[in-house]
Structures are given as C-alpha cells and as structure tokens.
Homo-oligomer: A and B are copies of this chain.
C-alpha cells in the first residue's frame, strides 16, 4: 500500500489513508535506551522466528536498516512504511513489510516493535483488526511488558496504556481555502485529538494534507479511541465536502480555473519543487474528486504524491540527485504519469 493504495477505500475523495500502529515492548529485554547491540540482534532474531511462518497478509520480508542505502531507507519512510526515526537509526534495526506494503512491523525503533497497518480511505477498524491479529500472534510467543494498572509499557510515556496510535490522512483544500482549518485544529485539540499538517507547517500544510490522530493512549479502550477518531474524521469529511460544492457554486469559472491551471502546470512544467508539486497535486486531487477532471484517477495522484518525494525520485533515477536535479526529475516523472493517464 505504501501510501500508494492499490484499491479505493471509502471516502477516498477526502480520506487518503487510515493507519493504526501499536507500540510494544518485551518483558525480558531492556527498553531501547538500555539495549546493547546484542539485545538488538536477539530481538531481530526473535521477531524473525515469530514472523517467518505468518503470512495472513502476504509474506513479511525483513528490510534490514544495517545494510540498506540511505536513499532506500528514506524512500520507505516516504511511503509511510517506516518512521523517520527508523530511517535514521544507527543500530541493528529494520522492518518486516508485506508485498502489498500495507502491513509493517518495525523492530528496534523507539520501542521494541511497532506493528502498523495502513489502508486506503477511512478504514480505521480494518487497520486496527489487522494490527490486533498480529499483536495476538506475537503475544502467544513472547511476553509483553504489561502493567495491570497502566497497560502496555512504552519508551515514551505518551504511548503508555494502549500503545496505539490511530491516524487518518485527510485532504482538506476547501477547509484551508475558506480559513476554517484553524477552528478545526482548536476543537480537535480540546477533544484530545491531534491534527497536524503532513507536509510543511501545522496550519498551512503544503498540499492541504492533514493527519488526524489520537493524543491519548492511557485509560481508553482501543475500540473507543478508534470510534472517536473515526467519528471526528467523518465530521471533518462532511464539512470539507459541503464546503467544496459551496466554493464551486460561488464561482464555477474561478474554481475550475484554479484546478485546470494546476493541472496544466503539472503536465507541462520542466522544473517542480516538492512544495509546488504538492500544492498542484492538491488542486488536481480536488478537481478529480469533484469530477471536474476526468482523465486522472485519485489513486494515481496518491502515487505521484509519494513518488515525487526526494528519496523515491532518487530510487527511480537510480542515482543520487541534488535539489536542482530532483526538481527536473520530479517534473519529468509527473509529466510522464499524466501523459500516460491521458492516453489511456
């Protein structure tokens, strides 16, 4: 899946993807801050033996950070398969990833393991069920660090309890255009829900992409948290959708002009910065989701969003590229993708 979903999930016109991750540590191994290289190696070995026979979501292959080129690491990060911390990790660490790239288990990140599932659209429950199943498989083979009062113990106190983070990536161009994002950020914070821009700064997220996730892990049942995030996201989605048509009706020509200009630039530019690329992709995504642009499908746009990031570009080019070279390669890649879609 890799943030490049291959099937359309529900509410995909606003909800790009849903992700759940569980942070877990084992009772018989010191927590990461106190781990020796030996402990790390033993943990990788343990996970390999537990995971090797598990293939409910396809075989999970180990991506070993120790031997991986930095560009490949960052590319995994850009595809949301590993965290930025793991990509920069110096120790013996890695991630088990399935072929569809919608399940990954990081090993030796901040916690011993982090189990993650990601799906297109708003599908938190499904993502949770996958994580929960893997969690049970592992729990059968080894004891987690668990406290009867607090729940799962984690390296960072913010994760103690459920160890769960449920997050949805939302595309909210109309809320940004109308200036409503600020009030949404405020109300969500009051409800213990974090909303942050995925690319760029908080309230002016590049590409109008936001991640909505739970801040609280302590004293809440998993299904309550999932239901709460799901409900808040659906409210935001409804508001975004209503606003889109309101803005559209206010001045159809101006609205379509913005969308088609971005489309024209994406398909023709020879130099594209990440920032501009995300901005243009956002407009085009809006146009596609409203049926204004018909040649392009929304999954292809998600793919472009991922592939236009620095490491992914360098992987495609097969070599290191400086910023100027990346801007040219990005423009070329996006242009080719759009031409291909138009010709189909």
Partner-B contacts on A (CB < 8 A): 253-254, 256-257, 260-261, 263-271, 324, 328, 331
| Chain B residues with CB below 8 A from A264, complex form | 264-269
| Chain B residues with CB below 8 A from A266, complex form | 264
Distance to closest chain B CB from A103 (angstroms) = 39
Contact of A263 among B263, B268, B328 (CB under 8 A): B268
Evaluate contact between A265 and B269: CB separation under 8 angstroms. Answer: no
Report the separation of the CA atoms of residues A118 and B11 in the bound assembly, to the nearest whole angstrom: 60
| Chain B residues with CB below 8 A from A261, complex form | 265, 268-269
Additional 9 contacts, C-beta under 8 A, given A257-B271, A257-B331, A261-B269: A253-B324, A253-B328, A257-B270, A260-B269, A261-B268, A264-B265, A264-B266, A264-B268, A264-B269
Report the separation of the CA atoms of residues A268 and B254 in the bound assembly, to the nearest whole angstrom: 12
Report the separation of the CA atoms of residues A265 and B271 in the bound assembly, to the nearest whole angstrom: 15
Report the separation of the CA atoms of residues A267 and B256 in the bound assembly, to the nearest whole angstrom: 13
| Chain B residues with CB below 8 A from A256, complex form | 270
Distance to closest chain B CB from A330 (angstroms) = 12
Report the separation of the CA atoms of residues A265 and B263 in the bound assembly, to the nearest whole angstrom: 9
Report the separation of the CA atoms of residues A331 and B269 in the bound assembly, to the nearest whole angstrom: 20
Report the separation of the CA atoms of residues A271 and B263 in the bound assembly, to the nearest whole angstrom: 14
Evaluate contact between B265 and A270: CB separation under 8 angstroms. Answer: no
Q: CB-nearest residue of chain B relative to A325? A: B253
Report the separation of the CA atoms of residues A270 and B254 in the bound assembly, to the nearest whole angstrom: 7
Q: CB-nearest residue of chain B relative to A272? A: B257
Report the separation of the CA atoms of residues A267 and B260 in the bound assembly, to the nearest whole angstrom: 9
| Chain B residues with CB below 8 A from A265, complex form | 261, 264-265
| Chain B residues with CB below 8 A from A324, complex form | 253
Distance to closest chain B CB from A106 (angstroms) = 38
Report the separation of the CA atoms of residues A261 and B271 in the bound assembly, to the nearest whole angstrom: 10
Report the separation of the CA atoms of residues A255 and B286 in the bound assembly, to the nearest whole angstrom: 30
